[in-house]
Amino acid sequence: MLVYAVFGDPVEHSLSPAMQNAAFSAMGLSARYLAFRVRRERLRDAILGAEAMDFGGLNLTIPLKEEALKVVVPDDNAAAMGAVNTVAFKEGSILGYNTDGLGALRALEGAGVRVDGSRILIIGAGGAAKAIARQLALSRAELSIANRDRGRALALAAAVGGRGYGLPDLEKLVPEAEVVVNATSVGMKEGDPRLLDGRLFREGQAVFDIVYNRKTELLQDATRAEARVLDGVMMLVYQGALSIEIWTGRKAPVDVMEQAVREELKNR
């Protein structure tokens, strides 16, 4: 039986074991996916140990994605992002990939949202925002990026060919956007402050929140405005599906994985 794992700190909250084990079962693979708490300073040891024990592959979550670049050989996308979330052991090499951006793109496209040529507003300029912005720019979206630290938004916008703004500019940017993406963790906890006035949303917009553990206030406001809403579950699912494809060369059962995630969320 092959062993796969997610490393993170903390990692107890991860939905990846339920999701990936459901996928392996549906695919008829003799494999098991586990979660391990790994401190940043021990990541090299943990990755090398997994290679030595013939693990099938790894996922990495906070705070290990950047640290992994010191251990793996990254592909062009992971190198450009400065972060790795998938590790594969192939022919004596330890390879690193970043599936965040493509996972977000597939989630949008899977919901019927047009990306090519669309005016897309990304809120945030952290790791997830960087991956999403790069992928959507490659898909020829017209990007605006707003962040609390305007300087970080300007830097990311310059890197991907978009425009950078501060959060006060959301009053103008939100009504103009065809797609709004929250790429921050705001909304993960009940009681988090709202990023923006929900009355700015309008019918016909697509509003995508990468938070997946609850229906955020952002999505509640967008629903009231009769916008099309997408939670972060499908981004998580497509990220995981892409990891399986990297590890096995086989297409992953996305529908089975989504069901497993949503069932797990109900039980928490």
Residue 65 appears among annotated catalytic residues: yes
What single string gives the DSSP state of each residue in 15-50? -HHHHHHHHHHHHT--EEEEEEE--GGGHHHHHHHH
CB 219 within 8 A of CB 232: no
- Domain span at residue 139 reads 101-231
Count Cβ neighbours within 10 Å for each residue of 56-88 and write b for 16 or more, e otherwise: bbbbbbeebbebbbebbebbebbebbebbbbbb
- Do 127 and 215 fall into the same domain? yes
Q: What is the C-alpha to C-alpha distance for residues 147 and 130, in angstroms, rounded to an integer?
A: 12
Q: In which residue are the tokens 């707003």 written? A: 146
- Do 122 and 194 fall into the same domain? yes
- Do 25 and 89 fall into the same domain? yes
* pLDDT tens string 110-163: 999 999 999 999 999 988 899 999 999 999 999 999 999 999 999 999 999 999
| pLDDT value at residue 107 | 96
What single string gives the DSSP state of each residue in 127-168? HHHHHHHHHHHHTT-EEEEEESSHHHHHHHHHHHT-EEEEGG
Q: In which residue are the tokens 């501060």 written? A: 166
Q: What is the C-alpha to C-alpha distance for residues 34 and 39, in angstroms, rounded to an integer?
A: 16
- Do 106 and 224 fall into the same domain? yes
Q: Is this prediction's pTM over 0.95?
A: no
Given 65, 215, 251, 266, the catalytic residue: 65
Binding residue per annotation — 14? Answer: yes
Tally of domains in the chain: 2
Q: What is the C-alpha to C-alpha distance for residues 123 and 66, in angstroms, rounded to an integer?
A: 21
| pLDDT value at residue 189 | 85
- Do 88 and 117 fall into the same domain? no
Q: What is the C-alpha to C-alpha distance for residues 139 and 131, in angstroms, rounded to an integer?
A: 13
Pick from 94-98, 129-133, 186-190, 218-222: least confident: 186-190
CB 205 within 8 A of CB 228: yes
Q: What is the mean pLDDT of residues 158-173?
A: 97
SS3 12: coil
SS3 210: coil
100 CB burial (10 A radius; 0-12, 13-18, 19+): buried
- Do 203 and 134 fall into the same domain? yes
* pLDDT tens string 183-193: 998 888 888 89
- Do 74 and 142 fall into the same domain? no
- Do 113 and 77 fall into the same domain? no
Binding residue per annotation — 2? Answer: no
Binding residue per annotation — 124? Answer: yes
- Do 110 and 35 fall into the same domain? no
| pLDDT value at residue 13 | 86
Binding residue per annotation — 197? Answer: no
Q: What is the C-alpha to C-alpha distance for residues 21 and 13, in angstroms, rounded to an integer?
A: 16
Q: In which residue are the tokens 């959060």 written? A: 167
| pLDDT above 90 for 210 | yes
Binding residue per annotation — 126? Answer: yes
Could you give the residue ranges of the DSSP H alpha helices within 190-253?
217-224, 233-248
- Do 73 and 161 fall into the same domain? no
Question: What is the strand order of the sheet 2-8 is part of?
Answer: 31-37, 2-8, 57-60, 86-90, 93-97, 73-74
SS3 238: helix
Beta bridge partners of 8: 37
Residue 257 banded pLDDT, cuts 50, 70, 90: very high
* pLDDT tens string 72-81: 999 999 998 8
CATH number at 178 reads: 3.40.50.720
- Do 196 and 120 fall into the same domain? yes
- Do 187 and 77 fall into the same domain? no
CB 170 within 8 A of CB 200: yes
CATH number at 72 reads: 3.40.50.10860
